[in-house]
Structure 1
Amino acid sequence: MKNAINKELIFNYFSGNATALEKDLIEQWSADASAREQLFIWLLEWENQNIQYSADVDRAITRHFSRLDELPAETESTTMRPMLAFAVKGKSWLVAAAVTLMLLSGGWLAREHVRYEIYTTSFGQIQRLVLPDGSKVVLNANSTLRVPRFGFGKTTREVYMTGEADFSITHTTTHQKFIVHTEKNFDVEVLGTEFNVYARPRRSRVVLNKGKVKLHYLKGSETDQIVMRPGDLVTFDAPGHASVKQTANPANYSAWKAHRFVFENESLREICNLFEDNFGMEIRIPDSTLAAQTISGSFTALNAEELFEILADDSGLSYSRSEDGKVITLDY
């Protein structure tokens, strides 16, 4: 069986094109611990080769109007001639009319989609993006990133995110700033660097891997800032107070990109919050002493069920499920 499994077959499986027989073969092969390690290596390689690129809308619009300019007058139909003439003579009015129509028909939602390219991940999904300026973003589960459709990389490099994302920012020849706006009363300003932003309802943090970033955050009624150095971890509590400390392994906070979860004395309560934020799973811990129990280690898993089983087994915990299977209750 081992010889029958190769990278080409696995890549075909990740693309969703494997046959039922091939899926069974891969399932049996991946049951072995050493095979699973190779599976994750190929998974990471496949995901890096299948990055999603955002469209260059500015270029598309320019190209569209260039084609209109090149259309010979004699080929235009009687019904299309007035509109084409209007488009050539007043291109900005045509764009404005189209945008207005979209706004009127779709309201605020349409307006957002006109102004921004919006990337959204569902529970358990990870999405890799390359922005028009060459910057790379890995969007974690249950997260959203909004990127301006017009002028990004030229007049602005500002994006808006909720959830969690890992950024690798390209430095431009004009030293243009890249700014990540969050809904948690803090923004991240960079030139070219690698960092992780976590902005969930219960807590927020920024971890810097390389380069230098400047955090702007609301401190009471005033704005304050922190200049971060590599290895810095800045966390925000519920009221928005910031604290800075050094972490020896900043890359651990981005390990989820390779489906790896690293915990350093994380309480079961905090880990259960992760399951809810990333996978939409509700895990209850009635016992406060159990909820405070900590876990440390590195765990590799493809999905929530697999990660939960590994953690429960490693910690010697028992659990029960509700009748509908949506709620898990932990016990000793």
Structure 2
Amino acid sequence: MELENGASFSIEALMENPGFRAWVLKEDQREGEYWKAYIAEHPERREVIEQARSLLLDMNEHFTTDDMNAAAVEQKLQAQLERLGSPEKLGRNSRFELRWTSGYLRLAAASILLLLVAGIAWWWIQRPSDLYATNFGEWETVTLPDGSRVNMNANTTLRLDDHWNDGAIRRVWLSGEAYFQVTKQSDTHGLFQVITDDLTVEVLGTAFNVHSRGEHTEVYLEEGSVNLELADGTQGAMQLEPGEMLTYSKALSTIVESGPASKELTTSWKDGLLKFDKTPMREVLQEVEDIYGITFRLEDESQYDRPITSQGVPMEQLEVTLPILARALGLTVELENDIYVIK
């Protein structure tokens, strides 16, 4: 469901939007196309969207029924906020007012209370720097507080655990694709975890790539060692050796590929190139759509499974990428009504 014209844009408004909830909770794949296009048109709103998405996922994880008393929750929320600090320190009014316009917001308030008690709300209030995000067609390299370096592909978000420095495990949540060079903590031997919707990657100090979009998650290990655990708990911990990749299919709820893989093909995006070796055209087009937030339509649908090989399609600008991609496909690409039609 689209946002109404003139409607206020806020975390609350997003969480009230049925289409937004359907997209975040993966209840309707069609909503994904709308929100992908919306973020591309309004990149300045991406951070608010990601905050609403993270809160909604946290809420959905902990609550399944609406049995909270509004007045009691509001009173407890106010008490927790006062303990966190003065209004000046929090950068907002001391009075925290809740609008009980729907049962879903009651759940949101209950979730916020849980996050406050657990300490996660400090991230929402005080630590916006713990959320890293790239827009469509944008790449970034960030250094985490422990010195680990992360190369972020376009259309990617990375969120740090609020308790990053409090314990032995360093946790980050990833949506999109990123290449990690993790610094080993020799003093604490602290583990480093990358958490996606499908699985958790656990390492000590190593270099690896995680691609988590759509219906599958891929993990490629360049050096060191990693342990993998599926989110659904259907399989015990698995290990990868350097040069191996594991692919998990959400649609099939199973591991569809595991074994040796090409580092050059898997991590070439860090160098600004997309490389393919007998890759189905469907996957090639999906990769470019994810990076730039655009939509392709192939006139001859029988071509979707055609294998594509390319030694390098530059990613810096869409205007450069498309002509070279067209040559690699042996076809032409034309823009028609905001859709790139391949003929």
Bucket of the pairwise TM-score, normalised by the shorter protein: 0.5 to 0.7
- Give the match for residue 320 of structure 2: 306
What letter is aligned with 1:125? E
What letter is aligned with 1:230? P
- For residues 278 and 297 of structure 2, what CA distance do their matches in structure 1 show? 19
Q: CA deviation at 1:251?
A: 4.0
CA deviations 1:195-231 (Å, max 9, x no partner) are 0001101321100000000001045x63532111101
Percentage identity across paired residues of the two chains: 29
CA deviations 1:79-135 (Å, max 9, x no partner) are xxxxxxxxxxxxx94648755967947986994533661111100111110011010
Residue in structure 1 matching 2:276, options 248, 259, 263: 263
Q: CA deviation at 1:156?
A: 3.7
- Give the match for residue 277 of structure 1: 290
Secondary structure of the residue aligned to 2:266 is: helix
CA shift in 2, pair 1:151/1:272, >3 Å: closer
- Give the match for residue 37 of structure 2: none
What letter is aligned with 2:136? F
CA shift in 2, pair 1:94/1:321, >3 Å: closer
CA deviations 1:9-62 (Å, max 9, x no partner) are xxxxxxxxxxxxxxxxxxxxxxxxxxxxxxxxxxxxxxxxxxxxxxxxxxxxxx
Tell me, yes or no, if the aligned pair for 1:132 and 1:153 is still in contact at 8 Å: no
Residue in structure 2 matching 1:180, options 186, 194, 202: 194
Residue in structure 2 matching 1:296, options 309, 315, 323: 309
- Give the match for residue 330 of structure 2: 316
Secondary structure of the residue aligned to 2:236 is: strand
- Give the match for residue 232 of structure 1: 244
CA shift in 2, pair 1:241/1:284, >3 Å: same
Unmatched runs of 5 consecutive residues or more in structure 2: 1-81, 99-108
Residue in structure 2 matching 1:118, options 89, 108, 131: 131
Tell me, yes or no, if the aligned pair for 1:275 and 1:304 is still in contact at 8 Å: no
Matched, 1:145 2:161: no
- For residues 305 and 266 of structure 1, what CA distance do their matches in structure 2 show? 23
CA shift in 2, pair 1:264/1:305, >3 Å: same
What letter is aligned with 1:265? K
Q: CA deviation at 1:288?
A: 2.6
User: TM-score by structure 2 length?
Assistant: 0.62
CA shift in 2, pair 1:287/1:228, >3 Å: same
Tell me, yes or no, if the aligned pair for 2:134 and 2:155 is still in contact at 8 Å: yes
Structure label with greater radius of gyration: 1
Q: CA deviation at 1:317?
A: 0.5
Q: CA deviation at 1:258?
A: 1.2
Tell me, yes or no, if the aligned pair for 2:164 and 2:171 is still in contact at 8 Å: no
Tell me, yes or no, if the aligned pair for 2:209 and 2:219 is still in contact at 8 Å: yes
Q: CA deviation at 1:152?
A: 3.0
Residue in structure 1 matching 2:212, options 168, 189, 199: 199
User: TM-score by structure 1 length?
Assistant: 0.64
- Give the match for residue 222 of structure 1: 234
CA shift in 2, pair 1:187/1:318, >3 Å: same
Paired residues in the alignment total 236
Secondary structure of the residue aligned to 1:278 is: helix
Matched, 1:245 2:258: yes
CA shift in 2, pair 1:178/1:102, >3 Å: farther
Provide the aligned C-alpha RMSD in A: 2.9
Q: CA deviation at 1:291?
A: 1.4
Q: CA deviation at 1:278?
A: 0.9
